[in-house]
Each structure stands twice: as structure tokens, then as C-alpha cells.
Amino acid sequence: MRFLIDECLHTSLVAVAQGRGHEASHVNWIGLSGETDWGLMPRIIEGDFTFVTNNAKDFRKLYAREPVHAGLIIVVPQVAPDKQRELLDSLLGDLGPEEFLINEIIEIEIEDGIAVVTRYDLPLPGMGAG
């Protein structure tokens, strides 16, 4: 997968993804720091990136409008960089190296000290873009 990490998450997540054999970059490193969420979407879609963010509310809405996308990973809790790295590494360890998230959202959060992963399609099957 090709990951693009949002500026709301630590730049060290790039190394976590690369350590798991994926291509990765950070929004800040490709000149998109401060870009609006809707302004990021064309770059995400054109680059065929799986986007990693903790801005669930806005990006769920934006991804629901895209007929085809390379997936969205949402790190739900606001946590320190070491916990962000731990959550992403755990998630990527569970995903196969050849797995792709076509039109899929993965949310990872912490409940009672345990990482909980939720996966769902977006847009929903049969749901038109708009």
C-alpha cells in the first residue's frame, strides 16, 4: 500500500509503514501542510494513497463521496506519538502485505487498554457518489 499520513498525526508513522514494507509519506513532507481536508482529497485520490488520519468526522464524509478509493485508516484516539506508532504497527501487522483497502475504512481505537479494530465499506455498496 501507499500511505499518506495526515498532519494531525506524528511524522514517525511514516517509518512504521515503511518498516512494514509499504511506501509512505507525510502531508507536511509533500507541501500540503495546512491544506484543507477537501483540498487534500484530489491528491489522495490521484496518488492512490491509503490516508491515515484521526480526523474521522470530516474524512468519513469526504470518502463517502468517492466512488473508488484506496482506503482510509482512522486512528480514533488523540494519543501521544509512541501510542500512535504502536496502534499503526499493530494494525499493519494484522494486514497482509498484499492486502488493499479498496473502498474500505479501518478505525483503530483503544478500549480498556486494548486496541479494537473496526472495518467497513465506504461508500456503502450500491450507494452512489454525491
**How far is Cα 48 from Cα 52, in angstroms, rounded to an integer?**
13
Ramachandran area for residue 103 (φ above 0: left; ψ -120 to 50: alpha; else beta): left
pTM recorded for the entire structure: 0.92
How many C-alpha atoms does 70 have within 13 Å on its Cβ side?
17
pLDDT tens per residue across span 14-36 = 999 999 999 999 999 999 999 99
pLDDT tens per residue across span 28-68 = 999 999 999 999 999 999 999 999 999 999 999 999 999 99
SS3 55: coil
Q: What is the pLDDT of residue 127?
A: 56
**How far is Cα 9 from Cα 76, in angstroms, rounded to an integer?**
11
**pLDDT bracket for residue 99 (50, 70, 90):** confident
Q: What is the pLDDT of residue 123?
A: 87
Nine cell digits for residue 88: 499503526
Average pLDDT over residues 65-90: 93
Which residues, in sequence order, are bridge partners of residue 51?
4, 72
Question: What is the distance, to the nearest Å, from the Cα of residue 13 to the centroid of all Cα atoms in its chain?
Answer: 11
